[in-house]
Homo-oligomer: A and B are copies of this chain.
Amino acid sequence: MPRKANITTQNLTDRALGHFWENGFHASSLDDLVKSTGATRHAIYGAFGGKKQMFLACFQRYQDLVVSPAFTQVEQPDATLEQVANYFEAQISRAEETGLPGPGCFVANSATEVAPHDTDVLAKVEEHNARLKLGFLNALRNETPATHQLSAEELELLAGVLVVFTNGLWSTSRLTQDGDFLRASTRQFLETIRKRISAP
């Protein structure tokens, strides 16, 4: 049992998250993490076992801290595209407060940089994308009028399209400094989806 616990494992994770989020895995050195967390190397290795495990802990923390609070509304049984729009707005305004161009999405960044070469990260990324797809599908179903225009397969594909767009959007948020552009793109996209699933 620890005698002193000035820095908890969760605090450590919270402070490291920002650095991994912004710089990715390879460009985040242990020195950087020591500086940004204020913890000693000993503490980091004691808490996680290594840089990689620390990264995975930050991944999980990101989902709990950033993804879930904004996305649970999409997963509600009665959610529609309005909740999807709220989810996008929440993430865009958060990015604006932090400053654009921003770090984008921790998961999307990991998907391109780390996941292709690391099965652990790949599994977590796919789990995240599956969650997004399920939530989007839920909203699409509720939005679709009773007289379905689209088959179940088409609806599922559309949910996948939403996931693809989402990943592209957070990628864009690493480059643009214009939050309103992200907002307008999202609105156009959702308008397009809405027209697609509405009755002709």
Binding site for B on A (CB under 8 A): 22-24, 26-27, 101, 104, 108-109, 111-113, 115-117, 122, 125-126, 129, 154, 157-158, 160-161, 163-169, 171-172, 174-175, 181, 184-185, 188-189, 191-193, 195-196
Contact B122 A112 (CB under 8 A): no
Contact B161 A167 (CB under 8 A): no
Contact A164 B191 (CB under 8 A): no
Contact A174 B26 (CB under 8 A): no
Contact B161 A188 (CB under 8 A): yes
Closest B residue to A197 by beta carbon equals B192
Q: Which residues of B contact A185 (CB under 8 A)?
A: 157, 160-161, 164
Closest B residue to A182 by beta carbon equals B164
Q: Which residues of B contact A158 (CB under 8 A)?
A: 188, 192
Contact A117 B192 (CB under 8 A): no
Closest B residue to A196 by beta carbon equals B192
Contact B157 A184 (CB under 8 A): yes
A161: contacting residue among B111, B115, B160, B192, CB under 8 A: B192
Closest B residue to A113 by beta carbon equals B113
Contact A188 B154 (CB under 8 A): yes
- CA gap between A157 and B171 in the complex, in Å: 17
Closest approach, in angstroms, between the C-beta of A184 and any C-beta of chain B? Answer: 5
Q: Which residues of B contact A108 (CB under 8 A)?
A: 112, 171
Closest approach, in angstroms, between the C-beta of A173 and any C-beta of chain B? Answer: 10
- CA gap between A34 and B69 in the complex, in Å: 47
